[in-house]
């Protein structure tokens, strides 16, 4: 028979029970559920709704359940409908009638919203610290490779020379924004719904602010119907994770390309690659591919919840029990991806010779030749035209700008002198890009310092 037997006899079919039960997945919120209940009992005692002695008994009883679950002495009874029912039932078994008083002035509707907010607050902090760990490895790599030259691409065509440190720091900037988004999202997670009760508040003289303070919330939900039916905080959290995964996925895609024979820009450690069961020569970047693949799952978790919520009338509807599995899946997926990606990156080594070799092909210093002519007094558009003609001539003669003879240069423009070779030297091209946020070594160092200052 169910705890809620009353209007009905509380006898349900096994099939309905299995369909209805959320314990298989909401049991992971047991710490939050119990901590929340302890704060609730404390509030009930302090407001005189229960005697202080009753409140203390409940708090202690709950503590016992928490410890027994932690140690494995107590197992979840899967006949219970959800984590809230399980804890209350266990408490009543242990304490007798006083256990039945815990659920005064609350409902599972505000309780589940509370548990989920506490859980996601914690997850936000965990994910934040994993992103910070990734940023540490990333800035270290950028420092190591701040002078390594490779082609920068637009349209997947070699465009201009950049440093590998600069390229890596682009991802650091994305991750900084991810941190910012999560910390902003945390503000809206950290609002207490408890005391909204079923939907309309309560006739008891409760102290919602006290209960919220005990649990470390910044504020309380100001409308009880919103308090029990709001899942914006889950959706926002999932969208932060979706954007984060999009970043990891783009990074993964580049790592995968860089590992190919076509590029050979990096080598991953053996520990974070796999072989093929048939092709003995293979060293596959599976970790990066899986991170890219799992991005789809996290997007799915976000789309799933948005879709679940879109037609729901106020206030609580059982549909909302569907919030948890997607959110938990996203939490687990993102944490795992961040851990693996960080370690994969730590072991990644750049093949600087190959990068430089690639940079020497594709005329990625053509813009610098045009800029050279501008410095000699030509308007940029005319300089651009002359550089383009020189590139075409180089291609016809199988030369590069670095080996194009001075007479040929001067045949295109008498402004060109022997210092042109200095101007088209890849090292110069990179070092000259001193604009704020540019690819020059000093700029990369500034970027690293900027990220580090944000992390402190
Ligand atoms: N297991 C439920 C959920 O996850 C808890 C809230 C149930 N409330 C209710 N009135 N049935 O959403």
Model pLDDT, residue 70: 98
| pTM of the shown model | 0.95
Distance between CA atoms of residues 133 and 125, nearest Å: 12
E-strand stretches of 125-258 = 149-154, 157-163, 191-192, 219-220
Largest Cα span, the chain: 101
pLDDT tens, 41-87?
999 999 999 999 999 999 999 999 999 999 999 999 999 999 999 99
Judged against a pLDDT cut of 80, whether residue 23 lies above it is answered with: yes
CA 116 to centroid of ligand 1, rounded, Å: 12
Does the domain at 366-424 match CATH 1.10.40.30? Answer given as: yes
Judged against a pLDDT cut of 80, whether residue 1 lies above it is answered with: no
CA 312 to centroid of ligand 1, rounded, Å: 15
Residue 35: Cβ-neighbour burial (10 angstroms; 0-12, 13-18, 19+):
buried
Distance between CA atoms of residues 50 and 66, nearest Å: 22
Listed residue (420, 415, 424, 408) closest to 363, CA to CA: 424
Model pLDDT, residue 27: 98
Q: Are 144 and 159 in contact (CB under 8 A)?
A: no
Model pLDDT, residue 280: 85
Distance between CA atoms of residues 177 and 175, nearest Å: 5
Q: How confident is the model at residue 276 (pLDDT cuts 50, 70, 90)?
A: confident
Model pLDDT, residue 14: 94
Judged against a pLDDT cut of 80, whether residue 4 lies above it is answered with: no
Q: How confident is the model at residue 226 (pLDDT cuts 50, 70, 90)?
A: very high
Q: Are 1 and 11 in contact (CB under 8 A)?
A: yes
Q: How confident is the model at residue 279 (pLDDT cuts 50, 70, 90)?
A: confident
Distance between CA atoms of residues 189 and 212, nearest Å: 13
Considering only CA atoms, which residue is closest to atom 2 of ligand 1? 321
pLDDT tens, 139-183?
999 999 999 999 999 999 999 999 999 999 999 999 999 999 999
Per this entry, what is the length of the chain? Answer: 456
Model pLDDT, residue 202: 98
pLDDT tens, 356-410?
999 999 999 999 999 999 999 999 999 999 999 999 999 999 999 999 999 999 9
Listed residue (272, 247, 234) closest to 134, CA to CA: 247
Phi, psi of 205 (to 5 degrees): -85, 75
% residues pLDDT > 90 (the chain): 94
Q: Which atom of ligand 1 is nearest to the CA of 320?
A: 12
Tokens of 229: 């039916």
Q: Would you state the torsion angle of the CA atoms of residues 204, 210, 215, 220, taken in this order, to the nearest 10 degrees? A: 80
CA 109 to centroid of ligand 1, rounded, Å: 6
**Helix (H) or strand (E) run with residue 349 in it:** strand 349-350
Model pLDDT, residue 9: 85
Written as one string, the DSSP assignment of 109-126 is: HHHHHHHHHHHHHHHHHH
> Is 308 near ligand 1, meaning CB less than 6 Å away?
no
**Helix (H) or strand (E) run with residue 350 in it:** strand 349-350
Q: Which residues are catalytic?
A: 155, 276
Contacts for 217-220: CB closer than 8 Å, 24+ residues apart? 217/117, 217/190, 217/191, 217/192, 218/187, 218/190, 218/191, 219/190, 219/191, 219/192, 220/191, 220/192, 220/193, 220/195
Listed residue (393, 389, 426) closest to 158, CA to CA: 426
Q: Which atom of ligand 1 is nearest to the CA of 83?
A: 1
Distances (CA, A) of 341 to 130, 138, 294, 316, 333: 10, 11, 12, 39, 12
**Arithmetic mean of pLDDT, 253-260:** 98
Pocket test of ligand 1: the residue of 22, 120, 227 to mutate, having most ligand atoms within 8 Å of its CB, is 22
Does the domain at 109-356 match CATH 3.40.50.150? Answer given as: no
> Is 108 near ligand 1, meaning CB less than 6 Å away?
yes
Examine domains 14-104 and 366-424 and report if their fold is the same. no
Q: How confident is the model at residue 11 (pLDDT cuts 50, 70, 90)?
A: confident
Distance between CA atoms of residues 413 and 394, nearest Å: 15
CATH annotation of 14-104: 1.10.275.10
Judged against a pLDDT cut of 90, whether residue 313 lies above it is answered with: yes
Mean pLDDT of the chain: 97
Distances (CA, A) of 22 to 28, 86, 96, 363: 11, 11, 25, 61
Least confident window among 106-120, 142-156, 184-198, 427-441? 427-441
| Domain residue limits, the chain | 14-104, 109-356, 366-424
Model pLDDT, residue 282: 85
């Amino acid at each position: 028979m169910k705890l809620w037997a009353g209007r009905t006899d509380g006898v349900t079919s096994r099939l309905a029970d299995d369909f209805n039960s959320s314990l298989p997945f909401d049991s992971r919120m047991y710490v939050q559920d119990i901590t929340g209940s302890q704060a609730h009992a404390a509030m009930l005692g302090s407001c005189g709704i229960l005697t202080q002695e009753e409140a203390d008994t409940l708090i202690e009883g709950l503590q016992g359940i928490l410890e027994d679950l932690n140690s494995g002495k107590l197992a979840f009874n899967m006949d219970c409908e959800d984590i809230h029912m399980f804890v209350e039932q266990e408490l009543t078994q242990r304490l007798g009638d006083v256990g039945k008083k815990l659920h005064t002035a609350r409902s599972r509707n505000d309780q589940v919203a509370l548990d989920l907010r506490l859980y996601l607050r914690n997850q936000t902090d965990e994910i934040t610290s994993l992103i910070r760990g990734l940023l540490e490895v990333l800035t270290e790599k950028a420092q190591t490779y701040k002078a390594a030259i490779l082609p920068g691409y637009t349209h997947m065509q070699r465009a201009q020379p950049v440093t590998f440190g600069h390229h890596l720091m682009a991802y650091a900037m994305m991750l900084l924004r991810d941190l910012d988004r999560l910390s902003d999202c945390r503000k809206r997670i950290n609002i207490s719904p408890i005391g909204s009760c079923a939907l309309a508040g309560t006739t008891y003289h409760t102290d919602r602010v006290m209960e919220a303070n005990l649990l470390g919330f910044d504020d309380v939900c100001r409308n009880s119907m919103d308090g029990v039916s709001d899942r914006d905080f889950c959706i926002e959290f999932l969208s932060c994770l979706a954007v984060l995964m999009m970043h990891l996925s783009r990074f993964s895609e580049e790592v995968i390309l860089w590992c190919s024979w076509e590029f050979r820009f990096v080598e991953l450690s053996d520990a974070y690659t796999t072989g093929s069961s048939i092709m003995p020569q293979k060293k596959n970047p599976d970790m990066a591919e899986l991170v890219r693949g799992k991005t789809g799952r996290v997007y799915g978790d976000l789309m799933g919840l948005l879709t679940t919520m879109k037609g729901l009338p106020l206030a609580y509807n059982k549909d909302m029990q569907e919030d948890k599995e997607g959110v938990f899946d996203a939490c687990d997926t993102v944490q795992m991806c961040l851990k693996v990606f960080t370690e994969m990156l730590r072991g990644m080594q750049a093949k600087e010779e190959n990068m430089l070799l690639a940079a020497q092909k594709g005329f990625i210093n053509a813009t610098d030749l045009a800029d050279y002519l501008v410095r000699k007094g030509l308007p940029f558009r005319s300089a651009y035209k002359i550089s383009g003609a020189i590139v075409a001539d180089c291609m016809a003669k199988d030369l590069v700008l670095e080996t194009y003879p001075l007479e040929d240069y001067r045949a295109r423009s008498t402004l060109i002198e022997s210092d042109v070779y200095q101007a088209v030297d890849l090292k110069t091209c990179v070092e000259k890009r001193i604009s704020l946020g540019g690819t020059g070594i000093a700029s990369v160092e500034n970027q690293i310092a900027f990220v580090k200052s944000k992390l402190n």
